[in-house]
Amino acid sequence: QVQLVESGGGLVQAGGSLRLSCAASGSDFSINTWGWYRQAPGNERELVARRTSGGNTNYADSVKGRFTISRDNAKNTVQLQMNSLEPEDTAVYYCYVLVNRQGRATLFQYWGQGTQVTVSS
């Protein structure tokens, strides 16, 4: 029902910036929550940032003040602006959404394929 396509990952030096984008496509859905997660080798997947349809935002303590999540509802896209990147930010970043599907009472979760972010020291 919903597909997520991510872009913007890559290699950057410490102190640099990257902007990740994610586009949702499909039919018969509306987005309840946008989110970005990341997972480094050997680590658990962790929430980086999320934004609800009501405008509430949450950030992991490790990225507060450096990362910003934003959305374009008209285009069904979300972005993650990452500034002052550190080697510890190196991970695979995953876009995710919680959606309301028409005719269904519960929320459904979808994940992007992941995009690699590597920060060199």
Measured at the CA of 120, the angle between CA 116 and CA 121, to 5 degrees, comes to 155
pLDDT of the residue at 73: 81
- What pLDDT does 50 receive? 97
Q: What is the pLDDT of residue 49?
A: 98
What is the pLDDT, as a whole number, of residue 93? 98
Which residue has 């680590």 as its token pair?
Answer: 43
For residue 88, report the phi and psi dihedrals to the nearest 5 degrees.
Answer: -65, -15
CB distance 14 to 119 below 8 Å: yes
pLDDT score, position 23:
97
Taking only the tens of pLDDT, the chain with its 121 residues reads 899 999 999 999 999 999 999 999 999 999 999 999 999 999 999 999 999 988 999 999 999 999 999 998 888 999 999 999 999 999 999 999 999 999 999 999 999 999 999 999 9
pLDDT of 113 reads 96
